[in-house]
Structure 1
C-alpha cells in the first residue's frame, strides 16, 4: 500500500514524536507497543515534515533519531507542520467549498434551500456527487460550533449564514503569538493566509529560549482551557512514568502555569477524585474530555487564589515551610539587589544593612526554591529552612562541591 503523509488520528503521532524524537532518543528496536510497520509509517511521516531538523546518533544499541533545532536560524516552530497534515475525504473538501460558496453572498438560507443549491453543483464533478440531508446538517452544525457559520431559529426552520470575517492581525503579531503562546498553532494557521512569497518575517523575531515541543499538546491544552473558560470539569487520562501506568481523574482546571526555565506546562486544578488541589503536567496527559459545568467553580478558584500566595512553583503539599537567606553585594553590584527583588515571587526582601539583603518566604514546598537559591552561592551569608531535611541536603551538596573542586585544584 502506498505511503500517505496525511493522518487521521493525531494522538498516535503525538506519542511517536514525544517518545522517540523529543524525550526518548530511542531506536526502532525499543518500540514494542505496536507493530514495527506502524512505527515505520509514522517515522516516515514525521521525517517528511521535519527533514530539515532531524539528527542521528549511533550507539551500541542502534541508530537513534531526534529533533535538533537552532532557534537562531529557525524563526517558526517546525512542529506546526504535524497539525496541518490531517487527512480528509474528497466529499469533505468538496462539501466545504460548496457550502462556503452558497453562503458567500451574506444571505440566510434554510437547510432545504442549501440542499437545493448544492444539487446544482453536480455538473462540476466528473462523477455525480449527492449529499444527503444528514451529512449537510452535521457539517453545518460543526461549522456553527466553530463559529464559521451562524445559525438562527425561526419557528420550525433554522437559518444559516456565514460568520463575520475579521481583518488579519499584523503578521509579526501572529508570528510572536504562534511561537510563545499556549496553543500557538492557532496563530500559525491564521498566518498561513498571508502570501508566503514575501520573505523576511523569519528574520524579524528570534528566540534565545524557544520551547517548541509544547505545541504537541495543543489539542489537550485547548480542551482544558475551553473548560476553564466555561467553568466546567474535565475528565483526563494521565501517565505515571515512574510506575509505567495510566490513571484517570476528574478535575476542575483553575490556572495554566508555564516554566520559564524548561517550557513545561502545568495545569493547576482541583481533583474531584482526591478532593484536593493538584498540579498535572500537560505533556503527561494523553486524553482530555470537557465535562459538565461546575456550580461551585468560583468557590474553588477563590480557595486556590488564597493558596497561590504560598506556591513558589507548582507543588502543593499540606504543611507550610519557612525559608530565609541573606546575601551580600558590593558597591557597584546593585544589579544583584535588583535581581533578588525582581525574582522574589511570593517572598519578601528587606535591607539588613548596607550591602546585605534578607529574603524570606512561607511556601508549601521549600525544595522548589533550592535551584534558585543555588544561583546566589558565593554571596549567601546566612541560610535557614524550617524543613531541616531540605537545609541539610543543601549544605551537604555544598560540601561535596567544595570537596570535588578542592581535589581538582590539588591535582
Structure 2
C-alpha cells in the first residue's frame, strides 16, 4: 500500500482510540480532512487487516476491530494498534516469497538455486516468479537480521534457519524469556520489535508443545497509543539524521482542527490544507515518558531550532544531503540549548530548590529513592531528619512541573518565588474543587 495511506491509517486509528466512538462519520471525516466515502473505505481496509492477521483462528474467536481498541487491561493482552505494523511490514509478494523460503529452510539447508526452484514451485502461477537476484537479496536480508545463517563449507553456500538459541532452551526457560521480553516491550522504547519478537516466541512454544503454553498476561500495560503509532516514523527519521539529509513533511500542530490531509491529484477536488509544509534538517529525536510522546528537534534556516510532535507529521520524504560541518555545527548548538532541558525545552535556565519530606515510618525512603532515580542531573544539597533539599538547573519550569506535582504533599517548592506562587495557586484551585456543596456535608 502507498505510504500516504499508511499516514492516513495512523491518524485514523489515533482518533478512533482518543474519541472512543464519540464522533459521527461526518464529524470524523471532517476532523481528518477526508470524505465520508474515504472514511468508510479506510474502515473497511482496517477490518480486512484485522481479519488477515487472524485468518487462522476460528470465526468465533476472531478479533473484531473494536476489540483491538478496548481500554480494559485484561482484554488488551496485545499492544494497541500493533496489527497495523504487522500488515505493513512487507509487500504481499515479499511476504509470500519470504514465507516460502523460511518454510523450505526449516526442513533442511539449501542453496540459493535450490531455493529459487522451491519459490517457483510454491508461488501461485498468477504471481510473477522471482529471479535468482531477487532470491539472493532476500537471503542477504534474512541473514542480516539474523533469521538464517550460512552453513560452513565450500561454495555454493547453503543456508539454514538460525534458531539455535530457541532450540536449546527448555519450555520453562522459553517462558522466562517470554516474560522478560513482554516486560521490556511494555516499558522500553522503541517497542514494536519487542512485541513482534514476543509474538514469534509465543507461536514457537505453541507449535512445539502438545498443550498451549502456560503464559499469563501481565496486568501492567504501558499503552500510550501515540508511542506505538509514531514508531512508524522512526526509521525514515533516524535514517535522515544518520545520513545528514533534510526532510520535507506536512505538519499538523495539536491546535489544528484537522490531523490529516490527502494528496489530491485531481485539481477539481483540490481543497485548502490546514497542515503546513515543512522543510527542515532533523537533528535529534526525543521521547517524553511523562505523556508518551515522540518529538523531532530540527534546524530550520529562518527560525533556528524547531520542535515538532511526531503525531502531527505526515507524508515524510527525505531530501538533499547537507555538509557534515554544517550538520555538526547545528547539532552542537542544539545540544548546548537542551543541556538543561528536563525534556526538550530551550527556554531560559532557572535554578529550582525543592524540599522533599521523608516518609514518616522507619522503612525504605521511597521519596528519596525516586528523586535520585528520576532527578536527572539535580543533586541533594542539604539533608535533615525529616526532609532534604533538592536543587536542579532546568530550562524553564513547564516540563518539570508535572514531576514535582506528582509528589503531592511530600514536597514544597522553595525557589524561585514565582514558581512557588504558581504551585500555591494551583493547589488552591484544586482545593476549591473539593469544597463541600453544603456546609453540613
TM norm structure 2:
0.67
Say which SS state the counterpart of residue 262 (structure 1) adopts. coil
Q: CA deviation at 1:101?
A: 9.1
In structure 2, the partner of 1:58 is none
Say which SS state the counterpart of residue 265 (structure 1) adopts. strand
Conservation of the 8 A alpha-carbon contact between 1:149 and 1:163: no
Task: Show structure 1 runs of 5+ residues with no match.
Answer: 1-5, 56-65, 151-158
Aligned equivalents of 2:374 and 2:89: distance in 1? 46
Q: CA deviation at 1:345?
A: 2.1
Say which SS state the counterpart of residue 393 (structure 1) adopts. helix
Q: 1:54 aligns with which of 57, 66, 70?
A: 66
Does residue 242 of the first structure (1) align with residue 255 of the second (2)?
A: yes
In structure 2, the partner of 1:360 is 391
Aligned equivalents of 1:94 and 1:13: distance in 2? 23
In structure 1, the partner of 2:35 is 35
In structure 2, the partner of 1:62 is none
Higher relative contact order, chain-length normalized (CA < 8 Å, sep 6+): 2
Aligned equivalents of 2:121 and 2:431: distance in 1? 83
The structure whose residues are more often helix, as a share, is 2
Q: 1:13 to 1:182 in 2, by over 3 A?
A: same
What's the CA shift string for 1:130-149, capped at 9, x where partnerless? 6587xx76786687577669
In structure 1, the partner of 2:270 is none
Conservation of the 8 A alpha-carbon contact between 1:235 and 1:289: yes
Say which SS state the counterpart of residue 409 (structure 2) adopts. coil
Q: CA deviation at 1:221?
A: 1.6
In structure 2, the partner of 1:288 is 316
In structure 1, the partner of 2:299 is 271
Aligned equivalents of 1:242 and 1:84: distance in 2? 31
Q: CA deviation at 1:220?
A: 0.8
Q: CA deviation at 1:351?
A: 1.9
Conservation of the 8 A alpha-carbon contact between 2:353 and 2:415: yes
The structure whose residues are more often strand, as a share, is 1
In structure 2, the partner of 1:216 is 229
Say which SS state the counterpart of residue 76 (structure 1) adopts. coil
In structure 2, the partner of 1:19 is 15
Q: 2:240 aligns with which of 227, 233, 255?
A: 227
Equivalences for 1:164-179 in 2 at 5 Å? Answer: 166-167=162-163, 170-179=177-186
CA RMSD of aligned residues (A): 4.4
Does residue 10 of the first structure (1) align with residue 3 of the second (2)?
A: no
More moved, 23-32 vs 328-337: 328-337
Q: 1:336 to 1:379 in 2, by over 3 A?
A: same
Aligned equivalents of 1:77 and 1:356: distance in 2? 41
Aligned equivalents of 2:422 and 2:18: distance in 1? 31
Q: 1:217 to 1:90 in 2, by over 3 A?
A: closer
Task: Show structure 2 runs of 5+ residues with no match.
Answer: 51-61, 147-154, 167-176, 258-273
In structure 1, the partner of 2:426 is 397
Conservation of the 8 A alpha-carbon contact between 1:221 and 1:282: no
